[in-house]
Amino acid sequence: MGLVTTKKMFQMAYKNGYAIGAFNVNNMEITQGIIQAIAEEKAPLILQISRGAREYASMSYLKAIIDVAVEENPDIPICMHLDHGDTVEICKRCVDDGFTSVMIDASHHPFEENIKMTRAVVEYAHAHGVVVEAELGQLGGIEEDVVGVDDVSAHLTDPAQAEEFVEKSGCDSLAVAVGTSHGAYKFKSEPKLAFDVIEGIQKRLPGFPLVMHGSSSVLKEFKDLINKYGGKMPDAMGVPEEAITRASKMAICKVNIDTDLRMALTAKIRQVFAEKPGEFDPRKYLGPGRDAIKAMVKHKLTVLRCAGKAAECL
Protein backbone atom coordinates (compact mmCIF):
# COMPACT_ATOMS: atom_id res chain seq x y z
CA MET A 1 0.00 0.00 0.00
CA GLY A 2 1.10 3.61 -0.42
CA LEU A 3 1.37 6.41 2.09
CA VAL A 4 -1.66 6.88 4.33
CA THR A 5 -3.10 9.71 6.38
CA THR A 6 -3.30 9.65 10.17
CA LYS A 7 -7.10 9.38 10.24
CA LYS A 8 -7.38 5.64 10.92
CA MET A 9 -4.26 5.66 13.12
CA PHE A 10 -5.73 8.29 15.43
CA GLN A 11 -9.14 6.64 15.56
CA MET A 12 -7.60 3.40 16.78
CA ALA A 13 -5.08 5.09 19.07
CA TYR A 14 -7.82 7.07 20.80
CA LYS A 15 -10.12 4.07 21.07
CA ASN A 16 -7.48 1.69 22.43
CA GLY A 17 -5.36 4.02 24.56
CA TYR A 18 -2.01 4.39 22.83
CA ALA A 19 -0.12 7.01 20.80
CA ILE A 20 1.60 6.93 17.43
CA GLY A 21 5.29 7.81 17.32
CA ALA A 22 6.07 10.72 14.99
CA PHE A 23 9.79 10.62 14.24
CA ASN A 24 11.68 13.37 12.43
CA VAL A 25 13.93 12.28 9.56
CA ASN A 26 16.91 14.05 7.99
CA ASN A 27 18.84 11.35 6.12
CA MET A 28 18.89 7.71 5.06
CA GLU A 29 20.44 6.24 8.23
CA ILE A 30 17.92 7.89 10.54
CA THR A 31 15.04 6.74 8.36
CA GLN A 32 16.40 3.19 8.11
CA GLY A 33 16.86 2.91 11.87
CA ILE A 34 13.27 4.02 12.45
CA ILE A 35 11.83 1.74 9.77
CA GLN A 36 13.74 -1.32 10.95
CA ALA A 37 12.39 -0.86 14.47
CA ILE A 38 8.86 -0.24 13.25
CA ALA A 39 8.90 -3.29 10.95
CA GLU A 40 10.11 -5.61 13.71
CA GLU A 41 7.59 -4.28 16.23
CA LYS A 42 4.69 -4.03 13.74
CA ALA A 43 3.75 -0.50 14.72
CA PRO A 44 2.07 2.30 12.75
CA LEU A 45 4.40 5.15 11.85
CA ILE A 46 4.49 8.88 11.16
CA LEU A 47 7.64 10.15 9.46
CA GLN A 48 8.01 13.89 9.96
CA ILE A 49 9.90 16.26 7.71
CA SER A 50 10.75 19.76 8.89
CA ARG A 51 11.83 22.77 6.87
CA GLY A 52 15.38 22.19 8.09
CA ALA A 53 15.29 18.61 6.82
CA ARG A 54 14.07 19.72 3.40
CA GLU A 55 16.80 22.34 3.20
CA TYR A 56 19.46 19.84 4.31
CA ALA A 57 18.58 16.81 2.19
CA SER A 58 16.06 18.20 -0.36
CA MET A 59 12.51 16.94 -0.65
CA SER A 60 13.26 14.70 -3.64
CA TYR A 61 15.87 12.67 -1.73
CA LEU A 62 13.76 12.35 1.42
CA LYS A 63 10.66 11.38 -0.55
CA ALA A 64 12.64 8.74 -2.45
CA ILE A 65 13.94 7.22 0.80
CA ILE A 66 10.43 7.16 2.26
CA ASP A 67 9.01 5.66 -0.94
CA VAL A 68 11.43 2.74 -0.59
CA ALA A 69 10.42 2.28 3.05
CA VAL A 70 6.76 2.18 2.07
CA GLU A 71 7.36 -0.24 -0.80
CA GLU A 72 9.39 -2.62 1.36
CA ASN A 73 6.86 -2.58 4.24
CA PRO A 74 3.40 -2.95 2.68
CA ASP A 75 1.90 -4.18 5.97
CA ILE A 76 2.96 -1.07 7.90
CA PRO A 77 0.80 2.08 7.70
CA ILE A 78 3.18 5.01 7.11
CA CYS A 79 2.21 8.67 7.02
CA MET A 80 4.49 11.42 5.67
CA HIS A 81 3.90 14.56 7.72
CA LEU A 82 5.06 18.17 7.47
CA ASP A 83 6.35 19.29 10.86
CA HIS A 84 5.84 22.95 11.85
CA GLY A 85 4.78 24.50 8.58
CA ASP A 86 4.66 28.20 9.41
CA THR A 87 2.84 29.59 6.36
CA VAL A 88 -0.19 28.60 4.34
CA GLU A 89 1.95 28.55 1.20
CA ILE A 90 4.44 26.01 2.64
CA CYS A 91 1.60 23.71 3.66
CA LYS A 92 0.02 23.91 0.21
CA ARG A 93 3.36 23.18 -1.43
CA CYS A 94 3.85 20.08 0.73
CA VAL A 95 0.35 18.86 -0.11
CA ASP A 96 1.33 19.18 -3.76
CA ASP A 97 4.62 17.36 -3.05
CA GLY A 98 2.83 14.25 -1.82
CA PHE A 99 2.63 14.68 1.96
CA THR A 100 -0.38 12.89 3.44
CA SER A 101 -0.49 15.12 6.53
CA VAL A 102 0.59 18.71 7.11
CA MET A 103 0.95 20.86 10.20
CA ILE A 104 0.19 24.55 10.07
CA ASP A 105 1.81 26.15 13.12
CA ALA A 106 0.28 29.60 13.51
CA SER A 107 0.31 29.40 17.31
CA HIS A 108 2.50 32.50 17.57
CA HIS A 109 -0.21 34.57 15.85
CA PRO A 110 -3.32 35.99 17.59
CA PHE A 111 -6.13 33.47 18.12
CA GLU A 112 -8.34 34.65 15.25
CA GLU A 113 -5.41 34.78 12.81
CA ASN A 114 -4.43 31.24 13.86
CA ILE A 115 -7.95 30.07 13.03
CA LYS A 116 -7.94 31.92 9.69
CA MET A 117 -4.60 30.46 8.57
CA THR A 118 -5.52 26.96 9.73
CA ARG A 119 -8.86 27.13 7.96
CA ALA A 120 -7.14 28.10 4.69
CA VAL A 121 -4.82 25.08 4.94
CA VAL A 122 -7.70 22.77 5.87
CA GLU A 123 -9.73 23.79 2.83
CA TYR A 124 -6.83 23.16 0.46
CA ALA A 125 -5.56 19.98 2.11
CA HIS A 126 -8.96 18.32 2.48
CA ALA A 127 -9.67 18.94 -1.21
CA HIS A 128 -6.58 16.82 -1.91
CA GLY A 129 -7.31 14.08 0.65
CA VAL A 130 -4.69 15.33 3.14
CA VAL A 131 -5.24 15.80 6.88
CA VAL A 132 -4.21 18.85 8.91
CA GLU A 133 -2.62 19.29 12.33
CA ALA A 134 -2.75 22.71 13.97
CA GLU A 135 -1.30 24.12 17.19
CA LEU A 136 -2.81 26.14 20.02
CA GLY A 137 -0.74 27.40 22.95
CA GLN A 138 3.04 27.73 22.90
CA LEU A 139 5.86 25.41 23.96
CA GLY A 140 9.25 26.34 25.32
CA GLY A 141 12.72 25.55 24.01
CA ILE A 142 14.23 25.72 20.54
CA GLU A 143 13.98 23.33 17.59
CA GLU A 144 15.47 24.46 14.29
CA ASP A 145 13.51 27.62 13.39
CA VAL A 146 10.89 27.09 16.10
CA VAL A 147 11.62 29.28 19.12
CA GLY A 148 9.41 28.71 22.14
CA VAL A 149 8.50 30.76 25.18
CA ASP A 150 10.53 30.99 28.37
CA ASP A 151 7.74 30.07 30.80
CA VAL A 152 5.77 27.12 29.42
CA SER A 153 3.36 27.15 32.36
CA ALA A 154 2.11 30.60 31.32
CA HIS A 155 1.24 29.54 27.77
CA LEU A 156 -0.72 26.32 28.23
CA THR A 157 -3.61 25.57 25.90
CA ASP A 158 -6.98 26.75 27.20
CA PRO A 159 -9.60 23.95 26.86
CA ALA A 160 -12.42 26.38 26.02
CA GLN A 161 -10.31 28.01 23.31
CA ALA A 162 -9.35 24.58 22.00
CA GLU A 163 -13.00 23.67 21.52
CA GLU A 164 -13.72 26.92 19.67
CA PHE A 165 -10.54 26.58 17.60
CA VAL A 166 -11.31 23.06 16.39
CA GLU A 167 -14.92 23.94 15.53
CA LYS A 168 -13.98 27.06 13.55
CA SER A 169 -10.79 25.81 11.87
CA GLY A 170 -11.87 22.30 10.94
CA CYS A 171 -8.44 20.83 11.76
CA ASP A 172 -8.09 17.06 12.11
CA SER A 173 -5.78 17.06 15.15
CA LEU A 174 -4.44 19.67 17.54
CA ALA A 175 -1.00 20.08 19.06
CA VAL A 176 -1.49 21.35 22.60
CA ALA A 177 0.79 23.03 25.10
CA VAL A 178 0.72 20.94 28.28
CA GLY A 179 4.15 21.67 29.75
CA THR A 180 6.50 20.07 27.22
CA SER A 181 9.37 21.88 25.50
CA HIS A 182 11.51 21.58 22.38
CA GLY A 183 15.17 20.58 22.34
CA ALA A 184 17.55 18.82 24.73
CA TYR A 185 17.77 21.60 27.31
CA LYS A 186 14.07 21.68 28.04
CA PHE A 187 13.88 22.12 31.79
CA LYS A 188 15.83 23.18 34.88
CA SER A 189 13.97 20.60 36.97
CA GLU A 190 11.82 17.58 36.17
CA PRO A 191 8.68 18.79 34.39
CA LYS A 192 5.14 18.04 35.46
CA LEU A 193 2.74 17.78 32.57
CA ALA A 194 -0.63 19.51 32.79
CA PHE A 195 -2.85 16.44 32.64
CA ASP A 196 -5.76 18.60 33.75
CA VAL A 197 -5.47 20.50 30.46
CA ILE A 198 -5.59 17.24 28.48
CA GLU A 199 -8.60 16.10 30.50
CA GLY A 200 -10.33 19.45 30.04
CA ILE A 201 -9.95 19.34 26.26
CA GLN A 202 -10.96 15.68 26.17
CA LYS A 203 -14.24 16.49 27.93
CA ARG A 204 -15.03 19.29 25.51
CA LEU A 205 -13.87 17.42 22.39
CA PRO A 206 -14.52 13.72 23.03
CA GLY A 207 -12.81 11.48 20.50
CA PHE A 208 -10.72 14.29 19.04
CA PRO A 209 -6.99 13.45 18.69
CA LEU A 210 -4.43 15.65 20.45
CA VAL A 211 -0.71 15.90 19.70
CA MET A 212 2.21 16.36 22.06
CA HIS A 213 5.27 18.17 20.72
CA GLY A 214 8.61 18.55 22.51
CA SER A 215 8.31 15.03 23.89
CA SER A 216 11.81 13.56 23.64
CA SER A 217 13.02 12.19 26.96
CA VAL A 218 16.74 13.02 26.53
CA LEU A 219 17.62 9.45 27.49
CA LYS A 220 20.36 9.13 30.08
CA GLU A 221 22.29 6.41 28.25
CA PHE A 222 22.88 8.69 25.26
CA LYS A 223 23.55 11.77 27.34
CA ASP A 224 26.15 9.81 29.32
CA LEU A 225 27.82 8.49 26.14
CA ILE A 226 27.99 11.95 24.61
CA ASN A 227 29.51 13.40 27.77
CA LYS A 228 31.90 10.46 28.18
CA TYR A 229 33.32 10.96 24.72
CA GLY A 230 33.90 14.69 24.73
CA GLY A 231 30.42 16.18 24.72
CA LYS A 232 29.07 18.75 27.13
CA MET A 233 25.41 18.07 27.90
CA PRO A 234 25.33 17.89 31.72
CA ASP A 235 22.12 19.90 32.07
CA ALA A 236 20.08 18.22 29.33
CA MET A 237 16.69 17.03 30.61
CA GLY A 238 13.56 15.76 28.87
CA VAL A 239 10.01 14.62 29.48
CA PRO A 240 9.71 11.60 31.84
CA GLU A 241 8.62 8.54 29.92
CA GLU A 242 6.02 7.55 32.49
CA ALA A 243 4.30 10.89 31.82
CA ILE A 244 4.30 10.19 28.08
CA THR A 245 2.76 6.76 28.67
CA ARG A 246 0.06 8.27 30.87
CA ALA A 247 -0.73 10.90 28.23
CA SER A 248 -0.94 8.21 25.54
CA LYS A 249 -3.73 6.53 27.49
CA MET A 250 -5.73 9.76 27.33
CA ALA A 251 -6.43 11.90 24.26
CA ILE A 252 -2.80 12.20 23.12
CA CYS A 253 -2.69 10.20 19.87
CA LYS A 254 0.60 11.49 18.41
CA VAL A 255 3.90 12.07 20.20
CA ASN A 256 6.74 13.87 18.42
CA ILE A 257 10.31 12.58 18.86
CA ASP A 258 13.34 14.28 17.34
CA THR A 259 15.99 15.13 19.95
CA ASP A 260 16.28 11.50 21.10
CA LEU A 261 17.04 10.44 17.51
CA ARG A 262 19.78 13.02 17.20
CA MET A 263 21.29 12.06 20.54
CA ALA A 264 21.32 8.34 19.74
CA LEU A 265 23.12 8.95 16.44
CA THR A 266 25.58 11.45 17.91
CA ALA A 267 26.39 9.31 20.95
CA LYS A 268 27.38 6.29 18.85
CA ILE A 269 29.39 8.33 16.37
CA ARG A 270 31.32 9.93 19.24
CA GLN A 271 31.94 6.51 20.75
CA VAL A 272 33.31 5.09 17.50
CA PHE A 273 35.59 8.08 16.95
CA ALA A 274 36.91 7.83 20.51
CA GLU A 275 37.49 4.08 20.45
CA LYS A 276 38.76 3.98 16.86
CA PRO A 277 40.39 7.37 16.19
CA GLY A 278 41.76 6.18 12.86
CA GLU A 279 38.34 5.29 11.48
CA PHE A 280 37.42 7.17 8.32
CA ASP A 281 34.81 4.90 6.71
CA PRO A 282 31.37 6.54 7.16
CA ARG A 283 29.74 3.11 7.13
CA LYS A 284 31.68 2.16 10.24
CA TYR A 285 30.28 5.01 12.33
CA LEU A 286 26.94 5.71 10.68
CA GLY A 287 26.08 2.00 10.89
CA PRO A 288 26.38 1.88 14.71
CA GLY A 289 24.45 5.15 14.83
CA ARG A 290 21.65 3.59 12.80
CA ASP A 291 21.61 0.58 15.15
CA ALA A 292 21.34 2.91 18.15
CA ILE A 293 18.38 4.67 16.57
CA LYS A 294 16.69 1.34 15.90
CA ALA A 295 17.08 0.23 19.52
CA MET A 296 15.89 3.59 20.84
CA VAL A 297 12.80 3.61 18.60
CA LYS A 298 11.88 0.07 19.66
CA HIS A 299 12.07 1.25 23.26
CA LYS A 300 9.86 4.26 22.48
CA LEU A 301 7.21 2.03 20.94
CA THR A 302 6.78 0.32 24.30
CA VAL A 303 6.51 3.71 26.01
CA LEU A 304 3.82 4.77 23.52
CA ARG A 305 2.15 1.34 23.73
CA CYS A 306 1.74 1.15 19.92
CA ALA A 307 3.90 -1.92 19.22
CA GLY A 308 1.86 -4.59 17.44
CA LYS A 309 -0.85 -2.12 16.39
CA ALA A 310 0.01 -1.80 12.69
CA ALA A 311 -2.68 -4.14 11.40
CA GLU A 312 -5.55 -2.37 13.15
CA CYS A 313 -4.44 0.98 11.67
CA LEU A 314 -4.52 -0.15 8.04
Which residues are part of the catalytic machinery?
A: 83
Does residue 37 contact residue 45 with C-beta atoms inside 8 Å?
Answer: no
49 φ/ψ sector (left φ>0, alpha ψ -120 to 50, else beta): beta
- Taking the C-alpha atoms of residue 146 and residue 6, their distance in angstroms, rounded to an integer, is 23
Which residues are CB-contacts of 159 (< 8 A; sequence separation ≥ 6)? 197, 200, 201, 203, 204
Q: Is the dihedral of CA 181, 184, 187, 189 positive or negative?
A: positive
In sequence order, the β-bridge partners of residue 101 are 81, 131
Rounded to whole angstroms, the Cα distance separating 286 from 159 reads: 44
Cα 9 to Cα 17: distance, rounded to the nearest angstrom: 12
